[in-house]
Copies of this chain bind each other. A is one copy, B any other.
Amino acid sequence: MKVKEGDRVLLLVKGKEYLVEVSDRSFGTNQGMFELKDAISKEYGSYIVSSTGVRGYLLRPTLYDLMMKIKRQTQIVYPKDAGYILLRLGIGPGMRVLECGCGSGSLTMAFAFAVGDTGKVYSYDERDEFITLAKENLARARLHHRVEFKCRRAQDGFDEKDVNAVFLDLPEPWVAIQSAWQSLAGGGVLGTLSPTYNQIERTVETLMQGGFEIIETVEILVREILARPGKTRPRERMVSHTAFLMFARKVNE
């Protein structure tokens, strides 16, 4: 597969990765200047060469790359959490997912990627500037056509019914749980993301009042390993906390 003008490409230069749009412009790095038009018609996986003779490999960005390179004004949802969320919510091609609290749009992007062109993501946020940012990030990832954004407070309810899953990334998830219940299909999966123990405790209290079963809370830790001949060991520092993830299934009492 060949690089085309307008493609967004992950440019790999001596272990550093840049997400660039292929066009008639120059792109400066600490390894010299790359003429991005050189990439046009090259095979993905091959390279262009900088003004100082350094290779820049041309890679198609994966969902992981796109999420890590997002323009952010908020704490993003990290791939470690997003991968697990997708699996627990059971998001796949053709599904309808509703999220509340899009932030910069990193999880929105994962949802939009996974549902495909036959699915749909409904994304609510009460702050207009986040919707604008998330829209821009989704457009850059060519996934915006799968998402419908709405600026609204969670407690004012959601328009959709019978969605496969609802995900809440809100400071007070409990205010949205009734709205979530009403939008979910029977047996559908609710997920929430919260940084503090106080939040998960109050959320679980609300869920235990009825309408949900199989309530489970986890945290996901990713530990990097430096695998190298003769001196393999874990990396010395890691991200030790992003958020707790809670999952539950809607039931009809």
Interface residues, chain A, CB within 8 Å of chain B? Answer: 1, 10, 12, 15, 17, 43-47, 57-60, 62-65, 67, 79-80, 82-90, 92-94, 110, 113-118, 162, 185-189, 195-198, 200-201, 203-205, 208, 213-242, 244, 246, 249-252
Contacts and interface: CB of A to CB of B under 8 A. Distances in A.
Contacts of A115: 93
Given A12-B213, A84-B84, A187-B57, A46 B252 contact: yes
12 contacts: A44-B185, A58-B186, A62-B88, A63-B87, A64-B88, A84-B222, A86-B87, A92-B93, A198-B232, A201-B229, A204-B228, A217-B226
A236 B232 contact: no
Given A45-B252, A94-B116, A225-B244, 13 more contacts: A1-B185, A43-B252, A44-B187, A60-B187, A62-B189, A80-B84, A114-B114, A197-B201, A200-B227, A201-B230, A205-B229, A235-B241, A238-B238
Contacts of A12: 213-214, 249, 251
B116 A92 contact: yes
Contacts of A64: 87-88, 90
Given A17-B214, A86-B87, A187 B59 contact: yes
Contact of A223 (B63, B219, B225): B219
Contacts of A237: 237-240
A208 to B, nearest CB: 8
Contact of A232 (B197, B208, B223, B242): B197
B1 A196 contact: no
A198 to B, nearest CB: 5
Contact of A44 (B46, B114, B186): B186
A218 B223 contact: yes
Contacts of A65: 90
Contacts of A238: 237-238, 240
